[in-house]
Amino acid sequence: MSGSVETKKVFLSSPQYAVVGASKDQTKFGTKVLKWYLARDLSVTPVHPKEDTLEGVNTVRSLGDLPSPADTSISIITNPKITLGILEQAKALSIPALWLQPGAEDAAVVSYIKDNGLESKVIYGGPCILVEGDGIRETLAKL
Give the pLDDT of residue 134.
94
Q: Give exposure, 40-58, as e/b (b: 16+ Cβ within 10 Å).
A: eebebbbbbeeeeebbeee
Q: In angstroms, how far is the first alpha carbon of the chain from the final one?
A: 25
Q: Tell whether the model's pLDDT for residue 64 goes beyond 60.
A: yes
Structure confidence by residue, pLDDT tens digits, 14-46:
999 999 999 999 999 999 999 999 999 999 999
In CATH, 5-141 is 3.40.50.1820: no
Question: Of 132 and 143, which is predicted with more confidence?
Answer: 132
**CA 101 to each of CA 56, 74, 143: distance values in angstroms, whole numbers, following the listed order:** 23, 11, 26
Read off the pTM.
Answer: 0.94
3-class DSSP state of 116: coil
